[in-house]
Amino acid sequence: MAIAAIPAAVSAEEMRTLGAARREYGERSQFERSARLFPPASSTPMTGASRSPLQDQFGIITPSALHFERHHSGVPTIDPATHELAIHGLVERPQRFTMSLLKRLPSVSRIHFIECGGNAGREHRGNSGATVQQSHGLVSCSEWTGVRLSTLLREVGLKPAARWVLAEGADASRHARSIPLAKALEDVLVAYGQNGEALRPEQGYPLRLLVPGWEGNVSVKWLHRLHVIDQPMMTRDEAASYTDLMPDGKARAFSFEMESNSVITSPSGGQQVEGRGWLEISGLAWSGRGRIEQVDVSTDGGRTWRQAELQAPVLSKAFTRFRLPWRWDGQEAVLVSRSRDETGYVQPTREAIVAARGMKEGPDGFNHYNGMKPWKITREGMVTHV
Amino acid sequence: MFRGRTFLLFLVATVAAADPAPQSSIDGAIRYGLGEPLTTDQIAALNISVLPNGEGLPEGKGSAREGATVYATHCAACHGDEGEGRGDFVALVGGQGTLSSTQPVLTVGSYWPTATTAFDYIRRAMPYTTPGVLTADEVYAVTAWILEKNQIIAPGTVLDRRTLPKVRMPNKDGFLPDPRPDVAR
């Protein structure tokens, strides 16, 4: 047997050279390129969003560095040593909590998605996103750690008239939203941790509200004030923005829950299937109303469906990874997924949503869209939007 | 040294500090008592919420006459000389009667249900790059300018904590509660 038969990779340079030094804070490999996507700068400084590269995500946790972001007046730099949370209004004992006091209270860690109310809104309009990052990148999922809002409200003591909690951020827009008390007491967190470390600045460092399953705008970041009130405050983002305009000119307000959704992330728009044969269809499903119960996948544009496997554990109001092995025969195919959540609700088609809600955009485009997203595979293996 | 109520508070604080067991609240769950008291002055300094009934509105007043100056100085560069919008910056004026048409124009004037929302939003977030520079009088005045341009208030109307909550917005009854799930399979 000749020495020359040893494959090139085995004699590679790195095996004969000392590796790199240690690093105090790890970074991904220099070969990894996955990145958030944002549109070219507009004339508005600092406002905007960046979309998460869902096509690159494995499993259900979005890396903190790739979590989507949305803010109205930039990302503030807040020193946790001086940051405080004030709670006042219809409470017995108005109080303020430093970060270190908050961390002494009983904590919980929970895995939840956050989805912008406007995620995939352009799909409603008919501008079908070419990649899943473009179409659905305003949703991400993390493990969040913090104090239950109910714990804090018990500390301050609610007065009988209390019905809503206004949450306000310490950013330049003083972003503010009102949350009904029932939800505040049910499962809302005041979070300081994200995926095992402190929140990222884009995600609200050092403190944010985490309102599971509801449009992302209510999960107020850079949280510094909670005001207990007897009615919603009618901030801009609840009185006008995030409302859904109907064909008759009336608009729906306070549409909080993000309904059952799913999208195939692989293969997805912009990718190339390298040759016929077996491949894994994989994607993400989520519902603001609870657990995902079933995901079906079609490879013929919705004529026939097969049930995908759900990765355990399936968590409430969290990303659920689904997978289905599939043999591509080299013919044109249209891949699409549909989810059903524990309430029995089934993700609709775009046509059904348009039939029910029409085509009128609200002040910030279409919100609360959860239509099925088909991807076409051409004979050449190119994956495109439909 | 301690008089009446102050002493009582001192006593309660001392007893609480000496007691290692957390207090129980009415529902039997533990209260930890870790928060620092928030004083009325501290609340006043932090609280910028304005409710639809006017609660939270500050002292002060203004009309569109002073508002025109505030608007020209602090707002027109982005939102246009007449509030018509400019490039990426939204219009603040116009659109009434268009909501049920095929080309709805959504502005403070045509769409927003409550006038307090305009005051609240301008005070918290505008001017976009320098929020917080306006005095209460200036916020009342520029709010009056926007509402007068939209022909929602009569010329010369002075807005203050009493009159602003009474302004009737044209689209006040234009909103419905969330009816979802609404999409048939």
CATH number at residue A233: 3.90.420.10
Q: What is the pLDDT of residues A302-331, one digit of tens each?
A: 999 999 999 999 999 999 999 999 999 999
Alpha-carbon distances, residue A84 vs A214, A258, B42, B63, B181 (angstroms)? 25, 30, 12, 37, 39
CB-based contact A356 B100, cutoff 8 Å: no
Mean pLDDT score, B1-11? 37
Q: How far apart are CA A378 and CA A86, in angstroms?
A: 57
Phi-psi region of A54 (alpha: psi -120 to 50; beta: other; left: phi over 0): alpha
Q: What is the DSSP letter of B157?
A: P
Look at residue B17 and tell me whether its pLDDT is greater than 90.
no
Closest CA to A254 of B176, B19, B11: B176
Averaged pLDDT, B6-21: 38
Q: Domain tally for chain A?
A: 2
Q: Is the CB of residue A375 less than 8 Å from the CB of residue A264?
A: yes
Point out the domain boundary residue: A217, A235, A252.
Answer: A252
Q: Which chain A residues contact residue B99 at CB under 8 A?
A: 245, 249-251
Within a domain: A56: no
Q: How confident is the model at residue B29 (pLDDT cuts 50, 70, 90)?
A: confident
Q: What CATH code is carried by the domain that includes residue A275?
A: 2.60.40.650
In a shared domain, residues A158 and A275: no
Q: Are A37 and A138 in contact (CB under 8 A)?
A: no
Which residue spans within A116-216 are E strands per DSSP? 139-148, 164-169, 176-180, 189-194, 197-198, 208-210
Residue B4 has pLDDT above 50, yes or no: no
List CB contacts (< 8 A) between A174 and chain B. 48, 124-125, 131
**Position A38 in a domain:** no
Q: Which residues of chain A have pLDDT under 50?
A: 1-2
The verdict on A188 and A309 lying in the same domain is no
Put simply, the answer to whether B88 touches A42 (Cβ < 8 Å) is yes
Residue A284 lies in a domain: yes
- In this structure, are A272 and A356 located in the same domain? yes
Contact B51 A156 (CB under 8 A): no
Query: By CA distance, what is B88's nearest residue in A?
Result: A43
Give the nearest partner residue to A94 out of B37, B87, B113, using CB atoms. B37
In this prediction the ipTM stands at: 0.94
Is A283 found in the same domain as A346?
yes
Fold of B50-174: Cytochrome Bc1 Complex; Chain D, domain 2 (1.10.760)
Rg (CA), chain B: 23
B176 CB neighbours in chain A (<8 A) are: 246, 250-253
Can you give the residue range of the structural domain that contains A207? 84-252
| Torsions phi, psi for A268 (to 5 deg) | -140, 170
Of the candidates A193, A228, A252, which is a domain's last residue?
A252
Q: Where are the alpha helices (DSSP H) in A2-127?
A: 99-102, 121-125
A243 in the same domain as A265: no
Is A292 part of any domain? yes
Q: Which of A227, A341, A343, A368 to mutate to test the interface with B (most CBs of B within 10 A)?
A: A227
A115 with A206, same domain: the answer is yes
Residues A190 and A265 placed together within one structural domain of the fold = no
Q: Answer yes or no: is pLDDT of B70 > 80.
A: yes
- Answer whether residue A28 is part of any domain: no
Q: What is the structure's pLDDT at A47?
A: 77
Select the residue of A94, A104, A240 nearest B112 (Cβ to Cβ). A240
Return the pLDDT at B19. 41
Does A218 contact B at CB distance below 8 Å?
no
Residue A372 lies in a domain: yes
